[in-house]
Every structure is written in structure tokens, then in C-alpha cells.
Structure 1
């Protein structure tokens, strides 16, 4: 059951909130009483998503934010503080992933740089801009969205390296920010049904069978984990990585099937 008070009075900024996991996070934190700034590089789509939530009585507004641009990030943070009076929660959802070239030696510097700049350095920019305000709130929390790609091989060299880097940034920033009253944690999803999988239902069904719990994730599964880590229910948790993957990285389903374990 959703707690409609956990984020009452909280100012929240969510990046990559136009669709998918980011949109689900914006909805969940608003349902729990938060005042949410849903940011995305795609402003029309973010505005559409925010308007839909406002029609349901939720306190959500949209703003453009390109996390590859420092000025854009700082403007979004300033917008949230001005609109809500404080910034209490930052959720880093925005990312960029480029399909691998057939051969590793054919990967380009530009591809590598783009994926790391958006996925890892973008989150760094957001944390840097938000941290003074999160510290001032007295209850600040940062939750970033990682990936099982950062834990083991699922392809995508640059994207995976960037997501692994988020794990390290989570730990080092948690150590720095703890004395300032800000908690920093990471949610690591497995395969989640988003628009990225549209038209690839056969692949998604095959992947579903690799998850011990028998299904792929939904954006709401990840949003629930984010809401926990951002809330006071997780007041003594910082620097942790919470894997939300239906058992994908804990259980080797192919091995178990091969040796016929009961």
C-alpha cells in the first residue's frame, strides 16, 4: 500500500522523467506527497507526462534539463528550489546507451564519451548542483539508477562501464555527504519493460525466462525501491546498492536447468 505522507512537504527532482522508470518514479514520489519537478531533455514529452499526473491531483511540474550540460542542470536545480522552497530528494534516472559495434576495436571515442558523459558524468553534474540544497534541507537523499550491466556482462561496453561507475560514485559520495546529512544510494534494475523494448516482444519473453521470479520488471518495481531508499524508512542506509532484478544476477537459471536441480 502506498504511503501518501512519506514525502509530504518534500521537494523532489527526477531526471529522465518523461517516460519509463523516470516517469514511474515521478508518479510514485508524487503519490506519496512529494512535490516533483520532472525533468527531461525531451520537454514536450515531460510536460505531457506531468500534465497527466496533475490531472490526477498530483503536484508535478516539468522542466527541460540536459544533464550533459552543466548550465542546464544548475538551472533545473534552481527551478526546483524556487518552486518548492527546498530540494530534499534527487533521483538520477537519465542515461544514454549506444549499441556495441560488432568488433570492440571498431568502437569510436565519440560513442564511449557520449555514454559516459550522459550516464555517469551527468549524474555527477546533478549531484554536484543539488548537494548544497540537499544538505540544507536536513533530510536530503540521492538515489541513482544503475543497471545489472554494471555488475556482470550483458553487453554494451560504454554504458556498462558508466553504470559500474555509478556504483563507485554512490559509495564515495555517500562517505562525503554523510556528515552533511545526505544519504546516497543506488538501485540496480534488471530488465524492465519500457518503450525501449517495443517491437521486441520475442526477445523480452526469452529474457523473462532467465529471471527466477518468472517475469521482467515493470517501471513501478523500480519506483518502489527508489521510494524506499529516498524515504526516512531508509534513514540508516547510505552507500548501498539495492539490486532489483527478479533474481537475475543471484541465480544462474541456465546452469540450474542444465544440471537438473530440483
Structure 2
């Protein structure tokens, strides 16, 4: 299915994990994708893989904590592909693990917000005129987290993701008359390179998910593609959990309190 034939997309933090999967999914459905990452080499590698598979993509180094870098990335997608229809804000910073608040460092707190929230703000601000000129198909999809909806640890990470959900709602209303939809996907635990070296943690995490496994980057990419497409043309301002059911119940408590099962 080529839902994005003729679309132009920019994906941040797309050098690996969820961002890379999103870039590949959009390209597989016909979009021309600017793959951006703070590590330009990784962005180029992902873009080269998309091109090798027959898609249209280019890599670009972008540090979303720098307004000039964001402006350059938006300018690059418009110049290279002729416009911008889809923005996916995936770049983030912050450790989802919790430390005692008094042991946390202020620079880490501010850094989490500067990339996760302020970076998305910078990208939306730079991209909005182009998205508004996209003839009603402009869409922003922000990548949040279940941490922004419920306690799973990580003070700065969770607070920044919750704030991103708030920005999603206000921007959705503000941009609706300009033909731009804004939504957020909230993943649960996803097997990405951020979990490298901790395979047993993912095994333990899987036991808390009603669907019996942690997520794959492709699970999130599928949801992003839906929200960015015309199939979601009457959806804006929502937070879509893609979380294996973890937000709807406490599986560990259910098992502890329920009847014994052989």
C-alpha cells in the first residue's frame, strides 16, 4: 500500500531504533524521507539502506537542541524533495530509570527537556509553514512514552514526555484551521539499542505486558504511519498508546491475587 506516494517526510532521531523503523516504513509506503540524527553517519547509513531497498531517502545531521541545525534540516527536506508533508519528532534525551531526586543532576534534567520537548518545539516551529502549505495533508506525529501517562520511573524523562503530550494537544487545536494534524504515539517498552547489554531486563519486562512481549520498533512505526496518513484524516490531538496493554492493567498484581493456575 502506497499511502505516502508524493509525500515528503522528516524524521528526527532516525539513526537507529524507532526513528529508523519509522523512516523505513514511510519510505516503503512511498514517501521521500529526510533521515536526521545527531550522528550524521548513522543517518546516512539508514538512508542508504532505504535507497538500496528501492526507496527515496537522504541522510542529514541534525541536533534538535540547536535552532540553526533544525532550520537547516527543514530547509534541506524542502530543497531536496520540494516540500514537507510529515514531521516525526522522535529525538529524545533522558534516562527512564529513576534515581533519588536529590541525587539527580540539573544538567541532565535540563538536557532531557532541551531535546525531548524543546527539540520537538523547534522542529514544529520551523516546519509549520511548510506543513500548512501541504494542501491539507500536513501532519506531525510526536513520539511520547507510557512514562508520560503513568509512573514507570525516570523523573526528567517522564516529565518531558508528559509535556510533549501537552504540546501535542495545544498545537493540534492551534494548527487545525491550517490543515495540519498533530498526534502522539506513546510506546511501552521497545527493544531498541538503548537496551543494549540488558537482555534479561527485556525478558523480565515482557512478563508485565498483557500481550506477553515487549514492543518492536516496527510496532511503533506502523502506528506512526497510520496517524500520518489520510486514514487518520479526522484524528488530531490524541495520544495513542502502543504498549501491549500495559496501561490498562497491573498484570503482576492480577497474577498475585488471582486463582492459582496450572
Category of TM-score, reference length = shorter chain: over 0.9
Q: Which residue of 2 aligns with 1:52?
A: 49
**Deviation of residue 72 (structure 1)?**
0.3
1:148-206 residue CA offsets vs partner (Å, 9 max, x unmatched): 11011111101110000011000000010000000000000000000111221111100
The 5-angstrom pairing of residues 207-226 of structure 1 reads 207-226=205-224
Q: Which residue of 2 aligns with 1:66?
A: 63
* Separation of aligned partners in 2, 1:14 and 1:175: 22
Q: Which residue of 2 aligns with 1:108?
A: 105
Q: Which residue of 2 aligns with 1:198?
A: 196
The question of whether the paired residues in 1 share the 8 Å contact of 2:98 and 2:153 is answered with no
The question of whether the paired residues in 2 share the 8 Å contact of 1:89 and 1:142 is answered with yes
Q: Which moved more, 1:152-161 or 1:99-108?
A: 99-108
User: Which ranges of structure 2 fall in alignment gaps of 5 or more residues?
Assistant: none
* Separation of aligned partners in 2, 1:185 and 1:37: 20
Q: Which residue of 1 aligns with 2:154?
A: 156
Give 4+ residue runs of structure 1 displaced > 4 Å after superposition.
Answer: none
Q: Which residue of 1 aligns with 2:27?
A: 30
* Separation of aligned partners in 1, 2:77 and 2:213: 36
The question of whether the paired residues in 1 share the 8 Å contact of 2:98 and 2:154 is answered with no
The question of whether the paired residues in 2 share the 8 Å contact of 1:146 and 1:163 is answered with yes
Q: Which residue of 2 aligns with 1:79?
A: 76
1:195-247 residue CA offsets vs partner (Å, 9 max, x unmatched): 11122111110000100000000000000000000000000000001000000
Q: Which residue of 1 aligns with 2:121?
A: 124
**Deviation of residue 103 (structure 1)?**
2.2
1:58-113 residue CA offsets vs partner (Å, 9 max, x unmatched): 10110010000000001100100111111000000100113667421122221110
Closer, same or farther: CA 92–99 of 1 in aligned 2, 3 Å: closer
The 5-angstrom pairing of residues 166-185 of structure 1 reads 166-185=164-183
Q: Indicate the RMSD between aligned Cα atoms, in angstroms.
A: 1.2
**Deviation of residue 51 (structure 1)?**
0.7
The question of whether the paired residues in 2 share the 8 Å contact of 1:100 and 1:107 is answered with no
* Separation of aligned partners in 1, 2:87 and 2:200: 35
The question of whether the paired residues in 2 share the 8 Å contact of 1:73 and 1:126 is answered with yes
Q: Which residue of 2 aligns with 1:242?
A: 240
Q: Which residue of 2 aligns with 1:20?
A: 17
The question of whether the paired residues in 1 share the 8 Å contact of 2:131 and 2:180 is answered with yes
Closer, same or farther: CA 102–14 of 1 in aligned 2, 3 Å: closer
User: Which ranges of structure 1 fall in alignment gaps of 5 or more residues?
Assistant: none
